[in-house]
Amino acid sequence: MENQPTLKRSLTLFQVVFLGLAWMTPMIFFTSFGISYESSKGMLTVAYLLAFLAIFFTASSYGKMAKAFPVSGSALTYITKVMNPFIGFLVGWVILLDYLFSCIIANLMFGINLHAQFPSVPSYIWIILLDIVLMVINIIGIKTSANISKLFVCIQIAFIALFCILVFHNLLQNDTSVHLAGPFAMGDSITFSTILAGASIICFSFLGFDSITAMAEETINPKKNIPRAIMIIISVAGILYFSTSYFLQLAYPELKFSNPDTAGFYVANLVGGKILGSIFTTVLVFAVFTQGLSSVATVTRLLYVMGRSAQLPKKSFGYLHPKFRTPVFNVVLVSVISLLGLFISLDTCIKFVNFGALTAFMFVNLSVILHYFIKEKRRTLKGIIAYLVSPLIGAGFIFYLLTLLDKDSLLMGLSWLALGLMYSLYLVARKKKRALVKEQENVTVTVE
């Protein structure tokens, strides 16, 4: 029997970090600036600090589970191993919403931004072009994706650094006195609950750290490097977001803009004029490209794990190309699905992503408690804090975020979950039928 091809273990720690940052997209600070600023009533720095602290506990839970089960599959694998395959499949099915629609969002954003830059070229041309490019790169291999992601993530970080330098320069040019504690000062009309509501929205700026767990089998020493990469990713993102919001609030304590959707572009022009505004648009296109690149890599690995375990048709979803050692069928399928960006709205995509991500986050936090605290009985003082208190805090905040989802998000998410439930019941029925047929065949052979 010929050896079946396996995923190629070639990713270093920092290549994984850049893939995660590419999925997260540091430029999301600007694309979500308007809604983040308004929802936190201008207390952006405090809201980002609270959001980081809140997401830290869930990121820590992912790191603990990646250490316990250093294989691909992310939440699907963890829940399957710790709870049972049925619940694991449903969680994996739900997280497909997050990963699949992230690919569609990348296509949509790419088309929207380039059409705005080149109005004579229809957005669907850009969407189709990006879709083809992402498909080819992901077929060639994960290391190619990681190297490209590294370049474009560095460009994003360089832009954010330039932005902060210009803000600081404008601050020095300002004759008025500067209060270093100003960004933390709450006005009489602002309550802590208001800032917390803003932080709950800002938490979505940190989504993406979990995506790298789907690449564990392509990572060198995943038991050590995946947990490290998770903490590096959220730490880098936290520093970038916090420092940018802090300097911006110091220099411009009161900002007003007419359209929250274009507030990031407005702020870029305010700080650096039209030149920085033009650079902003270019870097944003790079950011969307790398986000799409990482999203396709993540979802195709999840589909591969589901195919390998026969939760999806194994012959197609569990197939790896013998030369590239990549899940080619999954890459092509995801590329076709991503063309929904030609027809679906951005708002609908975001609702699917939110439901899928938060559901997976909730179950991963609970799986830490079940695996370490209950099954392995790690109940020292350190164990209680690490394996009970920390994941409970993470689960509690994620549950709070779930309650903030609107009715459309819940309806669409639950409808997808119901579809997955029906499919999983079909798989169970088919498995029982095959077992019965095999038993009958064995009985017939015995009688003969």
Across 33-37, 206-210, 383-387, 441-445, which has the greatest mean pLDDT?
383-387
Nearest by Cα to 78 from 360, 448, 287, 329: 360
- 295 inside domain: yes
User: Which whole-number Å values give the CA distances from 323 to 5, 103, 139, 168, 379, in the listed order?
Assistant: 8, 25, 10, 51, 47
Rounded mean pLDDT, 79-89 = 91
Shared domain for 313 and 445, answered yes or no, is: no
Bridge partner residues of 11 (DSSP): 219
- Please give the tally of structural domains in the chain: 2
Give percent of the chain with pLDDT exceeding 70: 96
pLDDT at 201: 79
- 2 inside domain: no
Shared domain for 184 and 62, answered yes or no, is: yes
Amino acid at 25: T
Shared domain for 242 and 390, answered yes or no, is: yes
Shared domain for 135 and 93, answered yes or no, is: yes
Shared domain for 177 and 317, answered yes or no, is: yes
Is residue 446 predicted with pLDDT exceeding 70?
no
Is residue 444 predicted with pLDDT exceeding 70?
no
- 30 inside domain: yes
Shared domain for 166 and 235, answered yes or no, is: yes
pTM of the model: 0.87
Regarding predicted confidence, which is higher, 176 or 22? Answer: 22
pLDDT at 1: 40
Shared domain for 25 and 51, answered yes or no, is: yes
All residues at 6 or more sequence positions from 200 whose CB lies less than 8 Å from its CB, including other chains: 51, 400, 401, 404
- 372 inside domain: yes
- Cα separation, 47 vs 56, in Å, equals 14
Is residue 400 predicted with pLDDT exceeding 90?
no
Give the number of C-alpha atoms closer than 13 A to the C-alpha of residue 34, restricted to the C-beta side. Answer: 13
Regarding predicted confidence, which is higher, 262 or 391? Answer: 391
Residues of the domain holding 212: 13-405
96 in Cβ contact with 307 (< 8 Å): no
pLDDT at 351: 74
Is residue 222 predicted with pLDDT exceeding 60?
yes
Shared domain for 302 and 430, answered yes or no, is: no
Which pLDDT tens digit goes with each residue over 327-376? Answer: 999 999 999 999 998 988 877 787 778 788 889 999 999 999 999 999 99
Is residue 5 predicted with pLDDT exceeding 50?
yes
Rounded mean pLDDT, 84-93 = 91
Shared domain for 309 and 431, answered yes or no, is: no
Regarding predicted confidence, which is higher, 76 or 183? Answer: 76
Shared domain for 300 and 435, answered yes or no, is: no
Which pLDDT tens digit goes with each residue over 126-173? Answer: 999 999 999 999 999 888 888 888 999 999 999 999 999 999 888 888
Shared domain for 428 and 325, answered yes or no, is: no
- 218 inside domain: yes
- CA 360-362-363 angle, 5° bins: 70
Identify the CATH number of the domain in which residue 64 sits.
1.20.1740.10
- Cα separation, 146 vs 297, in Å, equals 10
Shared domain for 207 and 313, answered yes or no, is: yes
